[in-house]
Amino acid sequence: MMRVRRVLGIGVAAALASVGALVGVSSLAGAASFGPVDHTLADGAANSLRDIVTNQATNAGGDTVNLEPGQTYTLTCGGGGALVHGNTLLRLVAGPTTPPGPGVPPPGDDPATIQQTCPATPILSHPGSTQLTLQNVNLTGGTALMSPPCSVGGPTTQRTWSTTNHTTDSRVDLAQQDAFSTRVLGVIIRRSPPSQQVVFDQTTPNSPSSAPAQALFAQAAAASAAGTVAQTGPTLIASADTSNTVHVGDLASTSFSTTTDITVGPGTAQIGQDLSETLFVPPGCASSNDNTDTEHLVEHQFQTTVTHNATFQTTGLVAMPTFTG
């Protein structure tokens, strides 16, 4: 007996076919969903598994045939022997149709079974270019899984693992940027009695060597020159550095890594998200296993700004008054 517990795909191409009559079907974009199919219907009867797979599931967009979990569908010689499907996409599914997400255990096993009772007869027959997917379905009896048999370079037994998503956070500190705050004072000092008068006080967000700061130095000198006999400066009288770090945004990138394992039958391949299940590959068949990993790298960017604060003073001295006795 061959057992497919998750997803088995046969073939890699699809062609168009006519649309048959639909019973208990929901259709979307040229695809249809049938069932659950009644397992008690006689093989070949209207709306039986054989009738739906052969005559109704022929939409060009591909069809899904839902089987009853835990039930057996019997194929007979009188019903037609091998279960034949045309050249369109087809999914035979028992139980949940959505695979569990990362870290979520798979649903309990309750597969449906398709049993071939006609001697020396394949279970499934297909033209070799269609894609057939079996999910949680047991295949038993008969002489082979499919007809015609696989050949190297021909139909492929393919399983695709569900995508695993990882998110990695990292902190990225951008290059430090500098800012300036230059304060310029103009001060008049009288020596007797001691007194000080601020006649000019302005600040520019530029370095002391910049043109705006040089212009303030000239204005401070002019403001503190009237009535004075001596002038000094500009002189640095205070300085300090202030650091400020802020979050300026995130950058996200996504990369994909795909690994394909090829096994030419006969042989047994490990399948499933955690490689805990096995799948027999018939003679001449190629088994491919595609695993896609999605990595989200989120870079949290931070910007540090250091502000250099400096205060310069230009001082004008007022002459001491003449002593008159």
Task: Using 50 as the pLDDT threshold, list the residues of the chain that sit under it.
Answer: 1-29, 97-108, 149-155
Residue 257 domain-assigned? no
- Give yes or no: residues 102 and 188 share one domain: no
Identify whether residues 108 and 204 lie together within a single domain.
Answer: no
Residues in a beta bridge with 286 = 156, 264
Q: What is the pLDDT of residues 67-81, one digit of tens each?
A: 999 899 999 999 999
With tokens 């049993």, the residue in question is 115
Q: Would you state the pLDDT for residue 156?
A: 52
Helix (H) or strand (E) holding 212: helix 211-223
205 and 142, same structural domain?
no
pLDDT at 2: 40
Residue 294 lies in a domain: no
Structural domain includes residue 4: yes
Residue 323: the pLDDT is 58
Claim to verify: residue 144 and residue 190 sit in the same structural domain: no
Same domain, 95 and 186: no
**Are residues 17 and 89 part of one domain?**
yes
pLDDT the model gives residue 107 = 46
Omega of the bond leading into 119 within 30 degrees of 0 (cis): no
Residue 159 lies in a domain: no
**Domain count of the fold of the chain:** 2
- Does residue 45 lie within any of the structural domains? yes
Clarify whether residues 142 and 187 are in a common domain.
Answer: no
For residue 156, tell me if it sits in a domain. Answer: no
Domain membership of residue 205 as a residue range = 177-241+308-318
Q: Residue 25 has what pLDDT?
A: 37
Q: Output the pLDDT for position 136.
A: 77
Q: Does the residue 263 lie in any domain?
A: no
Element (H, E) at 51: helix 49-51
Task: Report the DSSP pairing between strands 8-10 and 156-160.
Answer: antiparallel
Q: Quick one: 111 and 11 in the same domain?
A: yes
Assess whether 54 and 184 both reside in one domain.
no
Q: Judge if 120 and 19 occupy the same domain.
A: yes
- Residue by residue, DSSP assigns 256-285 as EEEEEEEEESSEEEEESTTS-EEEEEPTT-
Count other C-beta atoms under 10 Å from residue 297's C-beta.
14
The secondary element (H helix, E strand) that includes residue 50 is helix 49-51
Shared domain for 43 and 138, answered yes or no, is: yes
Q: What is the pLDDT of residue 202?
A: 97
Q: What is the CA radius of gyration of the chain?
A: 41
- Let me know if residue 266 belongs to a domain: no
For the entire predicted model, the pTM comes to: 0.41
Same domain, 17 and 88: yes
Structure confidence at residue 266 (pLDDT) = 67
Per-residue pLDDT, 141: 77
